[in-house]
Amino acid sequence: MQKEQRKSLFARFLSGRATKKEKDQVYSMPESEQMIKALWNKQLTGTMDDETRAKMLNNIYLKTTRQPRIHRLIPLIRVAAVLLIGLIIGGVIFSDDLFNKHSDTLVSVQSPTGQRTTLTLPDGSTVVLAGSSQIYYPEAFNEKSREVKLIGLAYFDVTHLNAVPFYVTTSDIRVSVLGTQFSVSSYPGDPVIQTILLTGKVQITCSDKNKSVDLLPGEQHIYNSISKSGSVTRVDAARLMEWIDGKMLIDQEDIYTVCKKLERWYGVDIEISNHRNITDLYTFTIDNNTLSEVLLLMQKVSPLQYTFDKNHLTLTFSE
């Protein structure tokens, strides 16, 4: 779509004259937020104060953003639903024992791609789900333990309850806590499971060898499901968890890792058209930036060009 056509489309969207098909086009464009703001400010300059204009922009965002999916699974369909999800993500097996003796109803919350979802668990603990992430938990915890199942990336601020441990189970590890702040990243297809501890103390148990390791604040545990090995290093935990506030750190990472993170962050599919030996490493911080702004930053490091086609981004590197 040409630049002038896009401007005309956004103008019809803002004026309320866009058709349903045209609205869907606007919502699917990675650069839509930036363009809407630019056109909105241009049209309303001098007619509305900054505070009122900002409130109206926020209302537009709240109405157009996708909402998290929340499902409740009753006992009779639990096994079928679990097996179906396991097949979809390539063989991750959900153990029904994870929820034994808990409430008869399971809750599943899925955060839309490119967004973050905050929820409160039955014990008052807070969870922030990153885009393309999903959590399962009983509608009511029992008196002996609190257990959840995670697919993707989440930050946990766990309410301290004496003698009632809190467990986060992923495909290959289990994190045990009493009350603390930490994050776990375990995306399907990603061989690395990352656990970062901000405060308190957690214990990580690897399912294959049943080995456990304790983490202290400021430490990171990396488990590789291919080599079946784990390691602990010191990190800036607070900085690595800034994604919950709309910031994402890219620190000396290759283009394939960067693209994987951008896909989850912005909800787009990214293709590298020419697979030459790309050795450039990227370091930058996304701070509520649009995808177009991030790509302009990357162009300062590498000779790349990009094109958008609906929700598909193609990167081309110059020889």
Question: Out of 24-28, 72-76, 152-156, which region has the weakest mean confidence (pLDDT)?
Answer: 72-76
CATH architecture of 246-317: 3-Layer(bab) Sandwich (3.55)
Residue 214 has, within 13 A of its CA and on its CB side, a CA count of 5
At 24-59, the pLDDT tens digits run 666 555 555 555 555 545 544 445 555 455 445 444
| pLDDT value, residue 318 | 78
How far apart are alpha carbons 153 and 249 in whole angstroms?
Answer: 14
At 230-273, the pLDDT tens digits run 999 999 999 999 999 989 888 888 888 899 999 989 889 999 88
Q: What is the mean pLDDT of residues 309-317?
A: 87
| pLDDT value, residue 183 | 97
What DSSP line would sit under 279-304, residue for residue? --EEEEEEES--HHHHHHHHHTTS-E
Residue 62's Cβ-count burial label (10 Å; 0-12, 13-18, 19+) is: exposed
Answer whether residue 278 shows pLDDT above 90: no
In the chain, list all ranges with CATH 3.55.50.30. 246-317
Q: Which residue has the higher pLDDT, 38 or 309?
A: 309
How far apart, in Å, are the Cα atoms of 134 and each of 43, 80, 149, 195?
A: 40, 17, 8, 16
| pLDDT value, residue 311 | 83
- The pair of structure tokens assigned to 45 is 């300059």
Instruction: Compute the Cα dihedral for 252, 258, 260, 265 and give only its sign.
Output: positive
Q: Which residue has the higher pLDDT, 72 or 269?
A: 269
Q: Give the pLDDT band (50/70/90) at residue 3.
A: low
How far apart are alpha carbons 319 and 317 in whole angstroms?
Answer: 6
In the chain, list all ranges with CATH 2.60.120.1440. 69-240
How far apart are alpha carbons 188 and 133 in whole angstroms?
Answer: 10
Answer whether residue 178 shows pLDDT above 90: no
| pLDDT value, residue 114 | 83
Contact between residue 195 and residue 184 where contact means Cβ atoms under 8 Å apart? yes
Q: What is the mean pLDDT of residues 64-87?
A: 50
Question: Out of 198-207, 218-227, 254-263, 266-275, which region has the weakest mean confidence (pLDDT)?
Answer: 266-275
How far apart are alpha carbons 147 and 40 in whole angstroms?
Answer: 46
How far apart are alpha carbons 4 and 209 in whole angstroms?
Answer: 59
Q: What is the mean pLDDT of residues 174-189?
A: 92
Answer whether residue 75 shows pLDDT above 60: no
Answer whether residue 74 shows pLDDT above 80: no
| pLDDT value, residue 44 | 47
Q: Give the pLDDT band (50/70/90) at residue 175.
A: very high
Question: Out of 97-101, 119-123, 162-166, 309-313, which region has the weakest mean confidence (pLDDT)?
Answer: 97-101
Share of the chain above pLDDT 90, in %: 39
**Those residues with Cβ within 8 angstroms of residue 222's Cβ, 6 or more apart along the chain or in another chain:** 192, 193, 194, 230, 231, 232, 233
| pLDDT value, residue 308 | 86
pLDDT, the chain, mean:
78
| pLDDT value, residue 92 | 40
**Those residues with Cβ within 8 angstroms of residue 63's Cβ, 6 or more apart along the chain or in another chain:** none
Question: Out of 7-16, 71-80, 81-90, which region has the weakest mean confidence (pLDDT)?
Answer: 81-90
Residue among 276, 294, 273 nearest 285 (CA): 294
Q: Could you give the 3-state DSSP secondary structure of residue 130?
A: coil
How far apart are alpha carbons 93 and 96 in whole angstroms?
Answer: 9
CATH code for residues 69-240 = 2.60.120.1440
